[in-house]
Structure 1
Amino acid sequence: MTGDRPLLTSAVTALAPAIWGSTYLVTTQWLPPDRPLLATTVRTLPAGLILLAFARVLPTGMWLWRSLALGTLNIGAFNFLMFAAAYRLPGGTAAMIMAVQPMLVLLLAALLMGDTIRPAQVAACALGAVGVVLLLFKGTVALDAVGVAAALGAAACLAFGITLTKFWGRPDGVGLLPFTGWQLAAGGLVSLPFTLSVEGLPATVTGTNIIGFAYLMSLGAVVSYAIWFRGIERLPAPAVSFLALGSPIVATVLGYLFRDETLSIPQLFGILVIISAVLLAQPRPAPPRSVHVPRTPVFGRRTM
């Protein structure tokens, strides 16, 4: 259900991937190097526990395993793979490779929910693919194979997460913040043992690291995911998935502004093409229904 103002809902939801686009810059500039598991855990687990303490609502019944599944896909696995890609690839490149996920969501929504794939959505996929290819024109950038695989894995996790979140919905009587807290906490708990056993904790943590983690926990987790799950509830799954294409645009622009990454004419054109794809995939307000008003005769009915 999109409500009376679906484009406004789409605009608000687009803030989440815009925030995620800044994650690549924050990761490389403000976090301890080469610690994607630590970044995932610190970003998600404290934020989830804070929301749970505030809401005081825990999942029960089937929502125990559903929260674990959604938390793993939307939060734990997605964030780990995203951070792994961010450490190994330029931010814009990592986000662009992940932009394949709208095509996966179209297929998953058709298989799980019986959604009809509309010609406009196919056209949006084609435009999005062209835009991503144009954004990848960076000249001499060598792509790391592990980074590319991580970005593709993150796209798959996000696609499954969007589709299952839409398919299962939210339990009756549970607010958006508790629902977000369940997934953040579940994703953080899944990544915690791997963080401690594989990476361990850094020997030192700088003030810059603390600022980076605080940014990821607040805007990058609590705010962005609450906005994201709200959008999934109110918009069709494919429309939400196309909004994620805003992430490579933000990552590319920030890389150009702060990391001296190139931004060529084809890339600028690619940004315009991606924006066109996102707009094409969004739902439109239903046209107002015409109400038939019987015409009143000028002269009254004759009476005998």
Structure 2
Amino acid sequence: MNANLNAQATRLEKQEQKLQSFTEQIADQEYGDFDDYNDYECQDQYDDDACMSEQASILSSAKKTPGGGIFSSLVNKFQQEDAVDSEVNDDLAHFVNMSFRSGLTEDKLSDIVKDIHRPQNCEALVKTRVNQGIWRLLKMHTQADDNRMQVIQDLIIKATSNLVKLIDKNADSLDPCDMDWSSNSIALLGQANKLINIRRQELHKSDLDPKYHYLASASLPFTDHLYGDDTDVNKNVKEINDLNKIGRNLGRGFPRGNYRGYASRRPHPYYRRGFRGRGRGRPDISAASKNVRMAPKK
């Protein structure tokens, strides 16, 4: 009996040792090297249960540690961060961050802008103005909003002018990568300028007659004027008016009054038509009432 109990106790002790060894291997593979875990040693004054409890708490804290554990790959996969490139000079980065966060004062802005001029053959680098005929149709608050949009557009034009001159000056020394960055920057600025023009036209629609909303279509090209040259505007207006006349003339083929087979007058709700079929119709009550003698008063 004692021999069996001793053998069973020995087997349990070996199983506990194997379990502890297996737990340590799992910890090394999944949670990396942790100083608190690797340097941890069970002292003689603690019993086996206390030792296992503290080891479990260390492993549990390792799972919660950012950057470690089996869930670290999920964090890296679903974490939303902007894609970034290599770092630039610290002073340059500080200047960029300050400019895009704080902006410029009005005095500093006017000093910079007044000295920037477009190249002579870049006629597109100008602030887009509203055609005079359409400008007179806009309300005062719409004109004020459009002026604010023109200020933003003018800053894009000035920045693009400097960039174009910088590329032209250093074209021989630019490698293909530099040229690609520069040309993409000009293309993006040009797209921003186009989107501003489209937004300005959308703001004008509320003040224009709906039949002239076609003038604000994004498919129509703009020049130094928002709605194209005045000749183009006059041509488009004439075409719109001609189409409206044709539509009104076509509508005249459908008469609004009486025509054969249709009664335009709406019958009274209490009116009842007489019997129009064959046979006896309704008696004339009004005619019969004329032949009735009134009884003399007593």
Q: Aligning the two structures, in what range does the TM-score lie when normalised by the shorter sequence?
A: under 0.3
Q: Which has the higher contact order (CA 8 A, sep 6+)?
A: 1
TM-score (norm 1): 0.22
Which protein has the bigger helix share?
1
Of structures 1 and 2, the larger Rg is shown by 2
